[in-house]
Amino acid sequence: VVEMPEPTPATPDPPGVRRRSGPRPGNTRSRRQILEAAKLAFAANGYAGTSMRGVAREAGVDPSLIVHFFQTKAGLFSAVVEWPYDGTRVAADIEHVEIDALGAYSATTFFGNWEADEQRDPMISMIQAALADPAAAALLREYITVNFALPLVTRAGTDQPLLRAGLIAAQLMGMGLARYALAFDALRNAPTEQLIAVLGESIQRSCTGPIPPA
């Protein structure tokens, strides 16, 4: 890969004009090149095996530009592996779900997302990254907690909300990995409707049932 120079802006600034500090066209192109190189690198080498320096080399840009755009490897990764659905929309929806339907709602949403290949694969990659890197783990924790688990528990209005949110996150992650990544036969072969019923009951208990005291 040849190191490519940043293109010169088409028209030079007139004297005395201070340009807005928005992205230059060359930056936009570099950012896209970095994301494309990073996507290939993460797919080929995994999260731990990918370096920002290697991505810069493949993208034909200076490593400092990656830091400029994405700050860290975790930041680069989260830009590449965008969580495949709009979490803020889910959190907004939850405010309108009946409290005794929170489990059914979340199980239905969960399996809807995990059944689709193009949504499942990035989620599995994100979990793999989180297991390899504390910064990626922090991203994933925040994502699940803020956009899904805590809104459910807040809507339920029960005690120990953060513990309940953690228990919900553990159940969702466990089911996702066991059915779709490790592929336990009985889970893989069970009809989705049956698993929605099982997981829904369990999450409903985590939202509104009693939790043993600390």
Burial (CB < 10 A; 0-12, 13-18, 19+), residue 145, is middle
Q: In the block, which residue shows the tokens 């922090």?
A: 138
Looking only at residues 193 through 212 of this chain, which bind a copy of itself when binding is defined by CB under 8 A? 194, 197-198, 201-202, 205, 211-212
Task: Give the C-alpha separation, 146 to 18, whole Å.
Answer: 40
Task: Kindly state whether residue 43 participates in binding a copy of itself, applying the rule CB under 8 A.
Answer: no
Task: Kindly state whether residue 40 participates in binding a copy of itself, applying the rule CB under 8 A.
Answer: no
For 88-122, give one letter per residue: b (16+ CB within 10 A) or e.
eebbeebeebeeeebbbbbbbbbbebbeeeeebeb
Task: Kindly state whether residue 156 participates in binding a copy of itself, applying the rule CB under 8 A.
Answer: no
Q: What is the CA angle 20-25-31, rounded to 5?
A: 110
Q: Which of 45, 51, 64, 88 binds a copy of itself (CB under 8 A)?
A: 45
Q: Which of 35, 135, 137, 146 binds a copy of itself (CB under 8 A)?
A: 137
Task: Kindly state whether residue 146 participates in binding a copy of itself, applying the rule CB under 8 A.
Answer: no
Looking only at residues 56 through 115 of this chain, which bind a copy of itself when binding is defined by CB under 8 A? none
Pick the stretch among 2-10, 86-94, 113-121, 187-195 that binds a copy of itself (CB under 8 A): 187-195
**Count of residues that interact with a copy of itself, criterion CB under 8 A:** 49
Closest CA to 77 of 138, 27, 24: 138
Q: Which of 90, 124, 135, 146 binds a copy of itself (CB under 8 A)?
A: 124
What residues have CB less than 8 Å from 36, skipping those under 6 apart? 59
Q: Which is nearer to a copy of itself, 10 or 186 (CB)?
A: 186
Q: How many helices (H) and strands (E) does the chain have?
A: 12, 0
Which residues would be at the binding site for a copy of itself (CB under 8 A)?
45-46, 48-49, 124, 127-128, 130-132, 137, 140-141, 145, 160, 162-163, 165-167, 169-175, 177-179, 181-187, 190-191, 194, 197-198, 201-202, 205, 211-214
